[in-house]
């Protein structure tokens, strides 16, 4: 009798187990798990990771980057995300209620070029059967030459970084011809136009990103904060074979942009310096060919001084300069009638050409500095270089946007398409 009871009990237990198993199978079968597809067929080798229990299912699909630093960084992110997912979803309550959670991750790895790799991680989480999937996007961009993650502040100047974060997010992917910003899962794609005006050009130079002439302004049209102080630093009479590069290094250090009014004869002597000024996103203006006083020249001589200089600059940079600074600030009706460009003078004169002394130059510039000032300096004098370091650092520390003349005048609402004389951005 006892043996028959044991057999009966065993059959009952097996029956319950089978029924329970069928029920769980039906429940899990109803839990739709989307097919995971990675878009990064061009880079790395495919790898899948699947972990399944009665409480959760985790599926990860990604292309493993060949670079060990990138591979380790991505795996660390994945491991941390999985650990957090388990902490939130592997609980006694979940087990009791038979609520099965799902984590799906797709890691897309894009090869921008030989030096840059960009990664997009899409995560989809479903905590209960009734819930819809919640999708989030995380991004990483790596400089393979330095085994370093590229942050937003490494690319965009300080004053633009915060505006980008407000309008878009700090999640972005570099691509071959554009940048993709993510606001949750919404994408904003912008190609590279005038990118050098707003970025750290060293990143661009290192990465060999192609610069198109199309539509990057859709991203950065409002990135200069019109409610913040701004100032334009200008340099005359260059370029100089060594001083100009030293000044470029200082400007780069503080994410500053300047306007260089160049002499045509020096442009001809130092084309590589001219190219570097342009490559770093600074503005180049016309300061005549040989520094004559234009008011003493004939109309044809004036035109020749301006046009030859403009052509020499364009031949090197591919961009025709528009702003003109007349030597000595000398203007009259004849000069204005011959030259259709805007004339950029100044309201702060450093007198660096006269004193050749940093201790005199710096206070002369900074004592009465204000929003909208145009500062006159000369990159042909070696004594100006250390003064530039102190001036730029002070302006940077005091929250000035150090930008080009054109940027400042445009932000202040001035029309620079016609002949007009500007002394500052407070006209």
Catalytically active residues, by annotation: 236, 378
H/E segment holding residue 126:
strand 116-126
Residue in 208, 75, 77, 81 with CA at minimum distance from that of residue 144: 208
DSSP label of 361? H
What is the spatial distance between Cα 410 and Cα 427, in angstroms, rounded to a whole number?
13
Give the angle subtended at the CA of 140 by the CAs of 136 and 146, to the nearest 5°: 170
What is the spatial distance between Cα 55 and Cα 93, in angstroms, rounded to a whole number?
10
What is the spatial distance between Cα 390 and Cα 182, in angstroms, rounded to a whole number?
38
What is the spatial distance between Cα 178 and Cα 190, in angstroms, rounded to a whole number?
5
Q: Are 357 and 216 in contact (CB under 8 A)?
A: no
End-to-end CA, the chain: 110
H/E segment holding residue 70:
helix 68-89
What is the spatial distance between Cα 15 and Cα 24, in angstroms, rounded to a whole number?
14
Residues 6+ apart with CB under 8 A from 352: 361, 377, 378, 381, 383, 384, 387
What is the spatial distance between Cα 384 and Cα 258, in angstroms, rounded to a whole number?
15
What is the spatial distance between Cα 309 and Cα 289, in angstroms, rounded to a whole number?
5
What is the spatial distance between Cα 317 and Cα 392, in angstroms, rounded to a whole number?
26
Tally of CA atoms within 13 A in the half-sphere of 398 that contains its CB: 13
**Residue 28 CB-density burial (10 A; 0-12 exposed, 13-18 middle, 19+ buried):** middle
What is the spatial distance between Cα 181 and Cα 170, in angstroms, rounded to a whole number?
8
Residues 6+ apart with CB under 8 A from 139: 118, 119, 120, 121, 171, 172, 173, 182
What is the spatial distance between Cα 286 and Cα 306, in angstroms, rounded to a whole number?
7
Query: Beta partners for 60?
Result: 49, 105
Tally of CA atoms within 13 A in the half-sphere of 168 that contains its CB: 22
């Amino acid at each position: 009798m006892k043996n028959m009871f044991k057999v009966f009990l065993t059959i009952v237990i097996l029956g319950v187990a089978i029924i329970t198993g069928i029920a769980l199978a039906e429940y899990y079968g109803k839990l739709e798990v989307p097919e995971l597809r990675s878009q990064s067929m061009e880079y790395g080798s495919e790898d899948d990771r699947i972990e399944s229990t009665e409480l959760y299912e985790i599926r990860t699909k990604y292309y493993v980057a060949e670079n060990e630093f990138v591979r380790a960084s991505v795996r660390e992110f994945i491991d941390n995300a999985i650990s957090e997912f388990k902490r939130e979803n592997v609980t006694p309550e979940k087990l009791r209620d038979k609520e099965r959670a799902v984590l799906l991750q797709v890691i897309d790895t894009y090869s921008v070029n030989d030096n840059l790799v960009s990664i997009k991680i899409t995560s989809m989480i479903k905590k209960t059967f009734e819930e819809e999937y919640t999708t989030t996007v995380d991004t990483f961009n790596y400089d393979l030459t330095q085994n370093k993650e590229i942050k937003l502040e490494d690319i965009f100047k300080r004053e633009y970084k915060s505006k980008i974060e407000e309008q878009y997010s700090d999640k972005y992917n570099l691509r071959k011809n554009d940048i993709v910003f993510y606001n949750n899962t919404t994408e904003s794609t912008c190609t590279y136009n005038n990118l050098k005006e707003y970025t750290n050009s060293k990143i661009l130079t290192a990465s060999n990103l192609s610069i198109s002439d199309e539509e990057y302004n859709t991203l950065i049209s409002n990135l200069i904060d019109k409610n913040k102080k701004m100032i334009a630093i200008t340099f005359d009479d260059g370029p100089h074979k060594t001083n100009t590069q030293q000044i470029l290094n200082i400007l780069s250090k503080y994410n500053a942009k300047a306007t260089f009014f160049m002499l045509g004869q020096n442009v001809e002597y130092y084309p590589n310096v001219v190219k570097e000024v342009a490559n770093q996103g600074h503005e180049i203006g016309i300061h005549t060919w040989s520094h004559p006083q234009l008011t003493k020249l004939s109309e044809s001589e004036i035109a020749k001084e301006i046009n030859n200089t403009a052509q020499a600059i364009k031949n090197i940079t591919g961009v025709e300069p528009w702003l003109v600074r007349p030597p000595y600030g000398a203007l009259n009706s004849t000069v204005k009638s011959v030259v259709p460009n805007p004339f950029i003078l100044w309201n702060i004169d450093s007198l660096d050409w006269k004193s050749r002394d940093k201790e005199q130059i710096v206070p002369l510039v900074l004592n009465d500095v204000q929003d909208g000032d145009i500062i006159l300096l000369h990159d042909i004098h070696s004594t100006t270089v250390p003064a530039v370091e102190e001036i730029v650092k002070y302006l940077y520390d005091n929250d000035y946007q150090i930008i080009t003349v054109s940027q400042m005048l445009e932000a202040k609402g001035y029309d620079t398409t016609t002949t007009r004389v500007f002394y500052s951005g407070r006209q």
